[in-house]
Amino acid sequence: MILKDSFEIEAPVEAVWAFLLDIPRVSACVPGAEAVEEVEPDVFRGKLVAKVGAVKAAFNGEAKLEEKVAPEKLSASFKAEDRKLASIVTGSFVARLSPTDRGTRLDYEMDIAMRGRLGSIGFTVVQQTAKKTSVEFINCVATALAGLESEP
């Protein structure tokens, strides 16, 4: 399943790039992210709690930064599992940054594969959840980059 979107953030490209590489700050903006830690350079483990439709999932997983082309492209891969739901989510993420008159345009694309119970949930439900989560994330990033306190 491919999910993609774009947002404009009122901050310079370099500031957005630096923020995206600051994993503690980024993870604080990801709704449901908990206990994110770096286990080796560019490899992170953590937990993500999310409600997808009527199903509440608690994933334990790992993400790896795959490619960093400063300050324009960042890619990562991830794999997470919810043992209670017998579900596994794997995928990749690519973000591209470009300057605009107002700041930075962030275009992203995620390629997600879901197996197990979550794999049976319809695309529309997953897409709606992803869109809501993306908006919350971008609002948090924009607030953080404006120098204000943010809440995920």
151: in domain: no
51: in domain: yes
Residues paired with residue 107 on neighbouring β-strands, in sequence order: 6, 96
40: in domain: yes
- What pLDDT was estimated at residue 150? 39
Q: Which amino acid is at 122?
A: G
Rounded Cα gap, residues 32 and 138, in angstroms: 14
Q: What's 113's domain CATH number?
A: 3.30.530.20
State yes or no: pLDDT of 152 exceeds 60.
no
29: in domain: yes
Range of the domain at 125: 2-145
Per residue in 93-125, pLDDT (tens digit) is 999 999 999 999 999 999 988 899 888 887 788
- What pLDDT was estimated at residue 64? 98
| Nearest alpha-carbon partner for 30 in 70, 59, 68, 73 | 59
State yes or no: pLDDT of 20 exceeds 90.
yes
Per residue in 76-99, pLDDT (tens digit) is 999 999 999 999 999 999 999 999
Residue length of the chain: 152
**Number of domain units in the chain:** 1
Per residue in 43-86, pLDDT (tens digit) is 999 999 998 888 899 999 999 999 999 999 999 999 999 999 99
The answer to pTM > 0.95 is: no
Percent of the chain with pLDDT over 70: 96
